[in-house]
Structure 1
Amino acid sequence: MKLDIVMFGLSITSSWGNGHATTYRALTKALAARGHRITFLERDVPWYRDNRDLRSAPYCRIKLYDSLRRVSQQYGAMVAGADVVVLGSFVPDGIALGDWITSTARGVTIFYDIDTPVTISKLTDNSAEYISPSLIPRFNMYLSFTGGPTLQLIKGIYGSPRAYALYCAADVNIHKPVEVPKQWMLGYIGTYSEDRQPLLEQLLIEPARRLPEHRFVVVGPQYPGTLNWPANVEYIEHLPPGAHSKFYCSLHYALNLTRQHMAAAGYSPSVRLFEAAACGVPVISDIWPGIDDFFTPEDEILLAADSDDVVKILSGTSEIRRRALAAAARDRALKSHTAENRALEFERYVREVIDRPARIAPIEAVRARV
């Protein structure tokens, strides 16, 4: 089954300040390797235009558009004739675009939510700009970065005919062991988030203060200039995806932190978790429901509830154990969490819609439940 796929996503051209680009790149590359044809459509916005690290790709056609009117004029026939049309979360004017897609496309339509817990929160208080309760059941399928109980909520409350987890993944062509000197004991990569900052303070900044003999690092844009970093914590504003493997392999341990919405929902792994593991770097993570579905605690990942846990790990773990954790994490990532795994899952979900079309609930019935 070779598919003609059209994707509308927040960004594939810029990894600046978002986790969407690396996910779309890995997934489209893996799908293309399996013979599918992908066109990615992205709204041309200034903040990504000024920070593009991918302008073209051999694995998909990238098209930029400046308005919904231009989309319907230039790409209407493409959307109508595609085997699969995907709309991602946080796409500008997503509600209007989703209405047009589900009215125009004749193939399988998918809403791909890379921000599921945030989306559910926005749907609850009617602040979502890119999806609406009445639009969800019009898509044949809802693919979610969050699994677990949230999938039943998407079907039972919002009326999606099908809801499946399609987690982020590591691109093993990029994320792999690299021979570089170890520079830092512990490092974190991620855009600044106010609700995640207390965790960073607890699980990296405070341990750095208590372990002045070790070096630490934080990478990511939008951190306030007023932050008071300890002398042994280096801050790097941005690293392009191509530099991530060298960064991870420069660490003794990588830190994984989860935003509050994601942690509360559980079953919401960060792409950084899989990337670091695929590079053969042991991960220390905060604790959230479902994490043991992805890596086995103590064997493939280390969990930390507070600063004391991190200090204990960094001070008391032997090099032999550290290397064993790294090897086990990489084995698990390569077995279960690659972009190839996700491409196979995507194919399976699409095939199910084609083979067994689901009955879509009337929109009025969905509105009555929301």
Structure 2
Amino acid sequence: MKIAFYGSSLVSAYWNGAATYYRGLLKALSALGYEITFFEPDVYDRQKNRDIDPPEWCKVVVYNATVDALENVARRAAHADIVVKASGVGFEDELLLNRVLHHARPDALTIFWDVDAPATLAEVRSTPEHPLRQALGKLDLVLTYGGGDPVVSAYRTLGARDCIPVYNALDPETHHPVEPNPAFQADLGFLGNRLPDRESRVEQFFLEPAVRAQTQHFLLGGSGWEDKAMAPNVRRIGHVSTRDHNAFNCTPKAVLNISRESMAANGFSPATRVFEAAGAGACLITDFWEGIELFLKPQEEVLVARDGQDVAAIMNELTRAQAREIGQRALARVLSEHTYDHRATEADKIFREYARMREAAE
């Protein structure tokens, strides 16, 4: 089957947290026999900051950020058996959804794939005439990369025929244990861009514990933190390329996951960082969110902190030997249950089931 996938970017993770998810899932779907074309707009300097070349397992079409170029790529939806419009494409999202649905064949399976459900739902709820709300009844299905029952119920209430989570996971070929890199030496590392929906939680779970644990070294990767006041034991290194994520995760004694406020509030939303860190065999500390136990066992495969005081206490007690044991257990768990091969099998089953339902209804 042919998939036309309209998303933010496959070849660049620059200001594009969904890249790892797209790459892992689409590569695994390709291995199952799907022929995939990924359409992405040239916006936000992503093409200038590519971190992978176009892969063999997916054709990538980059189009200019103009309405004419958008219409040209939307027409190509007519050649696909499955048409996917993702959230947060970055250029004329509502128009793109409209035109893709217009050009999709009547027998094609049409899907809205939400990679940031809390943000999307907040926007749709605040705008009764939002184009996505109007389009939900025309779509066959909504898929999300997180959110659990709260997100599923919300989408069904708004008019979606169905909503199914297909969670983040691990691609063992890209995220795996490597040798430590002295450039990332630290006791606790955190990797994340400065975002309004995350900053206060970074202060609570990372910057305040650094003040409490002055004898330990904290490493901060990500863009936007240059003018942020922080303790002298915090070292800022700016943007970290995806090619260095394994070393970033493997080198510190532990690494920290901090959910955005909306993700933590909804729960059941493991960030790609969770699986990247576990796949590298890192000892992961995460802020608490509902549903973490579905993915990793608290205190055995992941350490859970409810506030910054918990983070500081964990860091003061955690030895490197204990950290290695936790990381190895996490690695074994994700390899056995949470790879993109597992997720692609789920998605394939969903596609085929809903395609059969469409045929039966016609």
Is the TM-score greater than 0.5? Answer: yes
2:206 maps to what in 1? 204
Q: CA deviation at 1:212?
A: 2.4
1:7 maps to what in 2? 5
- Which amino acid in 2 is paired with 1:17? W
- Residue 149 in 1 paired to residue 150 in 2? yes
1:331 maps to what in 2? 332
- Given candidates 23, 46, 49, the residue that maps to 1:48 is 46
- 8 Å CA contact 1:95, 1:135 repeated in 2: no
Q: What aligned pairs does 1:35-184 form with structure 2 within 5 A after superposition?
A: 35-66=33-64, 67-73=66-72, 76=75, 78-91=76-89, 92-106=91-105, 107-126=108-127, 132-145=132-145, 146-155=147-156, 157-180=157-180, 183-184=185-186
317-326 vs 34-43, which moves further: 317-326
235-244 vs 109-118, which moves further: 235-244
Q: What aligned pairs does 1:289-308 form with structure 2 within 5 A after superposition?
A: 289-308=290-309
Partners in 2 of 1:259 and 1:127 — Cα distance? 25
- Which amino acid in 2 is paired with 1:219? G
- 8 Å CA contact 2:198, 2:260 repeated in 1: yes
Partners in 1 of 2:292 and 2:44 — Cα distance? 36
- Which amino acid in 2 is paired with 1:280? G
1:34 maps to what in 2? 32
Does the residue aligned with 1:27 lie in a helix, a strand or coil?
A: helix
- Which amino acid in 2 is paired with 1:32? S
- Which amino acid in 2 is paired with 1:247? F
- 8 Å CA contact 2:197, 2:262 repeated in 1: no
Partners in 2 of 1:128 and 1:114 — Cα distance? 22
- 8 Å CA contact 1:161, 1:358 repeated in 2: no
Partners in 2 of 1:62 and 1:5 — Cα distance? 12
Partners in 2 of 1:42 and 1:52 — Cα distance? 13
- 8 Å CA contact 2:24, 2:171 repeated in 1: yes
Q: CA deviation at 1:21?
A: 1.6
Judging changes above 3 Å, is the alpha-carbon distance between structure 1 residues 95 and 269 closer, same or farther for their aligned structure 2 residues?
A: same
1:268 maps to what in 2? 269
- Which amino acid in 2 is paired with 1:53? D
Partners in 2 of 1:46 and 1:319 — Cα distance? 40
Q: CA deviation at 1:358?
A: 9.4
Partners in 2 of 1:358 and 1:160 — Cα distance? 19
Identity between Structure 1 and Structure 2 (%): 33
- Given candidates 179, 190, 193, the residue that maps to 1:191 is 193
Q: CA deviation at 1:128?
A: 9.5
Partners in 2 of 1:74 and 1:293 — Cα distance? 39
Does the residue aligned with 1:228 lie in a helix, a strand or coil?
A: coil
Partners in 1 of 2:58 and 2:128 — Cα distance? 33
TM-score (structure 2 length as normaliser): 0.92
Judging changes above 3 Å, is the alpha-carbon distance between structure 1 residues 128 and 285 closer, same or farther for their aligned structure 2 residues?
A: farther
- 8 Å CA contact 1:14, 1:48 repeated in 2: yes
Does the residue aligned with 1:111 lie in a helix, a strand or coil?
A: strand
State the number of aligned residues.
354
Q: CA deviation at 1:74?
A: 5.3
319-328 vs 347-356, which moves further: 319-328
Partners in 1 of 2:264 and 2:128 — Cα distance? 21
Deviation string for 1:27-66 (max 9, x for gaps)? 2222222222111101112532332223422221111112
TM-score (structure 1 length as normaliser): 0.90
Does the residue aligned with 2:143 lie in a helix, a strand or coil?
A: strand
